[in-house]
Amino acid sequence: MKVLVIGGGAREHALVRAFGADAAVDRIVCAPGNAGIAAEAATRVVPVDVADPAALLALAVREGAELTVVGPELPLARGVADAFADAGRLLFGPSRSAAALESSKAFAKTFMARHGIPTARFEVCTDEGQALEAVAGERFGFPVVVKADGLAAGKGVTVAPDRDAAERAVREAMVARRFGDAGATVVIEECLTGSEVSCFVIADGRRSVTLPAAQDHKRIFDGDAGPNTGGMGAFGPSPLFGPDVESRVMREIVTPALDGMRAEGREYRGVLYVGLMLTRDGPQVIEFNVRLGDPEAQVILPMVESGLVPVLLGAARGDLGDAEWRVTADPRVGVVMASGGYPGAYETGLPISGLAEASSVPGVHVAHAGTAMKDGVVVTSGGRVLTVVARGESFEQAVARAYDAVGRIRFPGSHVRTDIGRKALIAAAGRGRA
């Protein structure tokens, strides 16, 4: 079978690796891919504009892809699944109308309100005055969350500690248009407190199977300090997501979401990513995403022990059937190596060394994100450059292996957080398992 993977980051590298280990797959094309993906066996990378559904469809036809799997959210928001469905080709990912769960924060929040899905109190604001009034009042208190309605590459959320910061966030989004049209509408909501967990299910519209839950690290600096990034690391499975929590999330969130989408004529087929806050009142939804998370995908996809493709095919066809599904609970930790200056301005084209040495550490593999080849040398080409992923018999071993490997990779100005996985160690120590 030939599989086409859309995207060029570490998430897509994780998908390519998973497909490469699947006996059902003999050829993989990744578009546009990166230097690490290009080095995978039986894999070829080709250039493409991921924002152009017609170009993606033409590529799938030209390559004879029997299944196309979409990594990033933008093609889904642009309607690539609809274009493939109209052409009678299989694609794993939700339709444009279903992708509104991520492409419109306002839709997602009002959808949850309609279907009784637990989430933070909120107000959808379509003009500056309404938004400023919302953050000025006592309804939400401080800190308060200001979210751009549309896609903003993970940068559209501000947790404002006080009124000045909240008003500044509103004006940046709605007046200065820092996020373009994505900030024309904003959602103001209360700031939930608790522990964050990322839950993932693969859905066929009615049923779903569950991937291991993970916890990621969004802030640039240790101790969750500094500005938000696309993610500086992750670990899984989450020690906080036990059977009781999982059962409650499926009952109160996932099943109502799938049923509600189908009832509204937006049947959901694909990965549903539920960003959760585990509050004193139970799990509440921070956000929905319509694809695998990054860097969570890098740690949870290696946990799938059964073939991934049969499940994705079943979901794409609208019937998971009796496809085998097995996942392991072996701990994984992924540490992101970023360019100096990220998430602000950063330099690219810097040579990377030590990749082979890092991969020689037991249980370690390196997922490429912002990399390219230049004169036979792997160089940096983005803000998040690599995710170093380690498996261990315990979280303690996985963390040690990950940072051992990180220490063997070098490029000028590289930046890593040094506390990825520490929350898992604390949780495991509390249970006597660290």
Q: 3-state SS string over 70-124?
A: ECCHHHHHCCHHHHHHHCCCCEECCCCCCCHHHHCHHHHHHHHHHCCCCECCEEE
Strands 377-380 and 144-148, bridge-based pairing: unpaired
Strands 282-289 and 269-279, bridge-based pairing: antiparallel
Q: Which residue has the tokens 């991934």?
A: 308
Q: How far apart are CA 27 and CA 413, in angstroms?
A: 36
CATH topology of domain 195-317: D-amino Acid Aminotransferase; Chain A, domain 1 (3.30.470)
Put residue 190 in one of left, alpha, beta given phi > 0 → left and psi -120 to 50 → alpha.
beta
**Among 256, 265, 225, 223, residue whose Cα is nearest residue 113:** 256
Mean pLDDT by 10 residues, the chain (434 residues): 98 97 94 98 97 98 98 97 98 98 98 98 96 91 95 86 96 95 96 96 97 96 92 97 97 98 98 97 97 97 95 97 92 98 96 98 98 97 98 97 98 98 85 46
- Out of 3.40.50.300, 3.30.70.120, 3.90.600.10, 3.40.50.2300, select the CATH number for domain 332-430: 3.90.600.10
Bridge partners of residue 211, in order along the sequence: 200
Query: What pLDDT score was predicted for residue 434?
Result: 37
Do residues 109 and 189 make contact, with C-beta atoms less than 8 angstroms apart?
Answer: yes
Homologous superfamily of 121-190 in CATH? ATP-grasp fold, A domain (3.30.1490.20)
Put residue 112 in one of left, alpha, beta given phi > 0 → left and psi -120 to 50 → alpha.
alpha
Query: What pLDDT score was predicted for residue 396?
Result: 96
Query: What pLDDT score was predicted for residue 105?
Result: 97
Q: How far apart are CA 127 and CA 143, in angstroms?
A: 21
Query: What pLDDT score was predicted for residue 431?
Result: 59
Q: Show me where the domains of the chain are located.
A: 2-93, 121-190, 195-317, 332-430
- Out of 3.40.50.970, 1.10.357.10, 3.40.50.620, 3.40.50.20, select the CATH number for domain 2-93: 3.40.50.20
**Among 80, 30, 71, residue whose Cα is nearest residue 52:** 80
